[in-house]
Amino acid sequence: MKNEVEYSSVTEADIRFLRDAVAPEGKVYTRAEIHEDYSHDEMGALHHFPEVLVETVSAAQVAAVLRHADSRRIPVTPRGQGTGLVGAAVALHGGIMLSTARMNRILELDAENLTLTVEPGALLMEISKYVEERDLFYPPDPGEKSASIGGNISTNAGGMRAVKYGVTRDYVRGLEVVLANGDIIELGGKVVKNSSGYSLKDLIVGSEGTLGFVTKAVLKLLPLPKKAISLLVPFDDLATAIETVPVIIKSKYIPTAIEYMEKPVILCAEHYLGKKFPDHSADAYLLLTFDGNSREEVEAIYEKVAEVCLESGARDVFISDTDERQVSIWSARGAFLEAIKASTTEMEECDVVVPRNRVAEFVKYTKEVERLVEARLSGFGHAGDGNLHVYVLRDGLDQETYQRKLSEAFDLLYSKAAGLGGQVSGEHGIGFAKKDFLEESLGAVPIALMRGIKAVFDPNMILNPGKVC
Amino acid sequence: MKIIVCIKQVPGTTQVDIDEETGVLKRDGVESKINPYDLYALETALRLKAGCPGASVTAITMGPPQAEQSLREALMMGVDDVMLVSDRRFAGADVLATAHTLSQAILADGWETGVILCGQQTTDGDTAQVGPEIAEFLGIPHAANVTAIQDFSAGALTARVDLPATEEIIRIPLPCLVCVNKDIHTPRLPSYTLKKASRGRKVRMVTLADLPDSDPAHYGLNGSPTQVIRIFPPEHHVEHERWEGDPEALAGRLYDNLRAEKFLA
């Protein structure tokens, strides 16, 4: 959204109001007390401090804060754990940062409806631990386990299990949302089916805090699969590995995850973790995971897929079926992002998603981009759902050269993805970083619709201004 | 050159209940796996073999017939040969009787020289005694707590041994036995192609009748000087304290507590 709105600065009177509104359990921090962490997220390049940081403990407190901000035209930036990668949780226009840190309770496990009701600040790792101890399963599995569920809902986070189970939106049954004017509304609920008008709940999911502030979510759970086995499949080269993915999908034995990885990234993770990967025989690997209720059931499925891989040119298929083996592979996989980050001076990410049968083409193109712009690109990703994470690394380049090469590389990558029928963001969202690319990719009409929706929800433009559209 | 690896099948998870009356692990319905420490021994053996033309690796295990599964997994990792040491009369063996049985099986297999590799310990028994005791029964030198094998040539191996306060580099003449520590090498994963290749393969079985010492009094419960009087799960004492307040004050308090508990000097 173009921001021609004039915002008010936060005054002493506003701070007094906020302190009263969130007392006694909530907290208000003024500029000098706000930690540097709150001036940025994991995007790195974007820094801006809010004028005041507010931690509320209830929907009623959130409503009081938003009502006040709306009447005063003070911008409000929602904040979870700040693990986002596109600057969505950065207070571009100052104002109030509204943190969910103190709204982090797991409120109810409903075993009869298989739902879990949580507050937005609950961490993904707390949720998965809580439900898995009770033999239940919250399938969305983004890599960043210290993210909050509110942040996951805001970006419609994906993760590795999307191939079989889908993404965050598929597991949000209901939401309690505070609107910009302070109204508290309930959307969806514990129902399995719902044909009752426009799905506002689904509109809120993925809206990155620009339409409303989520204060409660009802999540859908599944019974926990009892057995998970991974296959690490070595290939001579990346092209052969990636070209095998659509063949696996076509075989109808769907893994929960299909990841691809290349030797340089694995070596980087080994160096970062100080631990060796169990195999070094190949230049490229696919990592597949299967789950089910017994070893026999999972074996019967993975053997079919193992055959498919061998027919498609895999050198072998390695089986990871115990906790120790899973750790030896997945600890490396889990460290890729941090390891790549540690290997360079600065990096920016392209989180495109393309149709699954075009993944190979796109990955090959990234190699071409590397040559064209003469910068190091590193990547890995969810080959099974077409969502790729490609990083443009600065290394020893000076800032000006890097910015130029970065922009060239991103232009090439996004236009290639668009040409293949892809989208700008697979799971990280648009935030501030990808706004221009979104507009370019969607075109004028969808963007105008989005802005119209924004204007209905938030006529004074106080909610997370400068983000998404 | 024959490299022997002793492996054991252990419960697949750490959450195994103990029958408090009999003191026996409740293994029913619990999946089994190769003792994780033995995977390091297998990996070390396969690496020694790779640098030693003509060498072969044999995995042996003592256990009930279903322990065959762990040997099949060793084949999937790339060992050349496997041997199951199994007899009802071996049941109830303590560390001494187990070490005696395994050493007898190794002799029965015609082993004369080379290396025997063991994992440092098992995740179910945790004694770390069976490896060194096998060496004593065979009358060969051994080293435990080995964190690296630096050289393997000219009839000897050079091992790095982690002792509580020091580290030793020792050279041991063959034949010898080595117990390897965790993380000596990341174990390779079992291979699906080797799984297919070894699918119909029969696993060699050795029983009491095949051993040089066939006196049943030396095996199983009869041959075990250790008497288990009672096994019980450890009691857990976990105390939680919750502090709230100013970060500076809390940090100071945490520092004082850690010092008082002697976690900090």
**A276-290 confidence digits (pLDDT tens):** 999 999 999 999 999
In whole angstroms, what is the distance from residue A47 CA to residue A94 CA? Answer: 11
Pairwise CB contact (< 8 Å): B190 & A322: no
Which chain B residues contact residue A319 at CB under 8 A? 76, 189-192, 195
Helices (H) and strands (E) in chain A, counts: 14, 18
B258 is a domain residue: no
Q: At what angle do helices B95-108 and B130-138 cross, to 10 degrees?
A: 50
B240 is a domain residue: no
Q: Which run of H or E residues covers position B159?
A: strand B156-162
Pairwise CB contact (< 8 Å): B189 & A232: yes
Under 8 Å between Cβ of B55 and B3:
yes
Which chain B residues contact residue A277 at CB under 8 A? 186
In whole angstroms, what is the distance from residue A278 CA to residue B187 CA? Answer: 6
Phi/psi region, residue A231 (left: phi>0; alpha: psi -120 to 50; beta: rest), is: beta
Phi/psi region, residue A44 (left: phi>0; alpha: psi -120 to 50; beta: rest), is: left
For the range B123-130, what are the long-range contacts, defined as Cβ-Cβ under 8 Å and sequence gap of 24 or more?
B123/B10, B123/B11, B123/B14, B123/B35, B123/B36, B123/B37, B124/B8, B124/B10, B124/B11, B124/B16, B124/B25, B124/B35, B125/B95, B127/B95, B128/B179, B129/B95, B129/B99, B130/B6, B130/B95, B130/B98, B130/B99, B130/B102
In whole angstroms, what is the distance from residue A279 CA to residue A287 CA? Answer: 12
Pairwise CB contact (< 8 Å): A231 & B190: no
Among A104, A106, A141, A139, CA closest to A120: A104
- Buried-state track B103-120, b at ≥16 Cβ within 10 A, e below 16: bbbbebbebeebbbbbbb
Pairwise CB contact (< 8 Å): B76 & A231: no
| Type of residue at A97 | M
Distances (CA, A) of A145 to A121, A152, A159, A334: 13, 10, 10, 10
Peptide bond into B65 cis (omega under 30): no
- Chain B, 32 to 61: residues with Cβ < 8 Å from chain A are 33, 36, 39
Distances (CA, A) of A244 to A82, A129, A314, A358, B216: 36, 34, 9, 12, 57
- Look at residue A24 in the predicted model and tell me its pLDDT: 92
Separation in Å, CA of B81 to nearest CA in chain A: 20
B247 is a domain residue: no
- Buried-state track A407-441, b at ≥16 Cβ within 10 A, e below 16: ebbbebbbebbbebebbbbbbbbbbbbbbebbbeb
Pairwise CB contact (< 8 Å): B36 & A324: yes
Among A437, A430, A432, A396, CA closest to A415: A437
Beta strands B2-7 and B56-62 are parallel
B90 is a domain residue: yes
B256 is a domain residue: no
Q: Which run of H or E residues covers position A207?
A: none
Distances (CA, A) of A458 to A23, A353, A452, B164, B238: 26, 29, 10, 66, 50
Q: How many CB atoms lie within 10 A of CB A369?
A: 21
Q: With 0-12 CB in 10 A as exposed, 13-18 as middle and 19+ as buried, what is B174?
A: middle
Q: What is the CATH number of the domain that holds B16?
A: 3.40.50.620
All residue ranges of chain A with pLDDT < 50 are: 1-2
A to B CB pairs, distance under 8 Å: 51
Pairwise CB contact (< 8 Å): B192 & A320: no
pLDDT in tens, B71-89: 999 999 999 999 999 999 9
* DSSP per residue, A30-47: EGGGS-GGGG--TT-S--
Mutation for testing the A interface, residue in B42, B76, B186 having most A CBs under 10 Å:
B186
Among A397, A240, A234, A388, CA closest to A319: A234
Pairwise CB contact (< 8 Å): A310 & B193: yes
Separation in Å, CA of B36 to nearest CA in chain A: 7
- Look at residue B12 in the predicted model and tell me its pLDDT: 81
Residue A70: both structure tokens together:
């709306």
Pairwise CB contact (< 8 Å): A278 & B76: no
Question: What is the chain B residue with the closest CA to A306?
Answer: B192
Separation in Å, CA of A279 to nearest CA in chain B: 6
CA B96 to chain centre: 15
* DSSP per residue, A413-466: HHHHHHHTT-BS-SSS--TTTTHHHHHHHH-HHHHHHHHHHHHHH-TT--BSTT
Nearest neighbour of A295 by CB, restricted to B31, B188, B190: B31
Which chain A residues contact residue B12 at CB under 8 A? 322
Q: How many CB atoms lie within 10 A of CB A403?
A: 14
Which chain B residues contact residue A328 at CB under 8 A? 186-187, 189
- Look at residue A1 in the predicted model and tell me its pLDDT: 46
B225 is a domain residue: no
Q: How many CB atoms lie within 10 A of CB B69?
A: 17
Residue B44: both structure tokens together:
């070390």
Q: How many CB atoms lie within 10 A of CB B39?
A: 30
Mutation for testing the B interface, residue in A281, A311, A321 having most B CBs under 10 Å:
A321
Pairwise CB contact (< 8 Å): B188 & A321: no
Separation in Å, CA of B74 to nearest CA in chain A: 13
**Which positions ≥6 away from B30 have C-beta within 8 Å?**
B11, B12, B13, B16
**Which positions ≥6 away from A253 have C-beta within 8 Å?**
A290, A301, A302, A304, A305, A308
Residue B176 near chain A (CB below 8 Å): no
Which chain B residues contact residue A317 at CB under 8 A? 191-193
Domain range for residue B129? 2-218
Mutation for testing the A interface, residue in B13, B37, B192, B193 having most A CBs under 10 Å:
B192
* Sign of the alpha-carbon dihedral angle for A36, A37, A39, A42: positive
**Which positions ≥6 away from A102 have C-beta within 8 Å?**
A25, A26, A27, A55, A56, A57, A121
In whole angstroms, what is the distance from residue B265 CA to residue B254 CA? Answer: 14
Place of tokens 């096994």: B231
Nearest neighbour of A278 by CB, restricted to B33, B36, B187: B187
B59 is a domain residue: yes
Which chain A residues contact residue B33 at CB under 8 A? 321-322
All residue ranges of chain B with pLDDT < 50 are: none
pLDDT in tens, B184-206: 999 999 999 999 999 999 999 99
Under 8 Å between Cβ of A77 and A91:
yes
Nearest neighbour of A279 by CB, restricted to B13, B39, B188: B188
B92 is a domain residue: yes
DSSP character at residue A11: P
**Which positions ≥6 away from A309 have C-beta within 8 Å?**
A231, A233, A244, A248, A286, A317
* Beta-bridge mates of residue B157: B152, B172
Place of tokens 């790195």: A44
- Chain B, 74 to 93: residues with Cβ < 8 Å from chain A are 76
Place of tokens 């959450």: B15
Pairwise CB contact (< 8 Å): A324 & B39: yes
Tally of domains in chain B: 1
3-state DSSP call for residue B140? Answer: coil
Which chain A residues contact residue B183 at CB under 8 A? 275
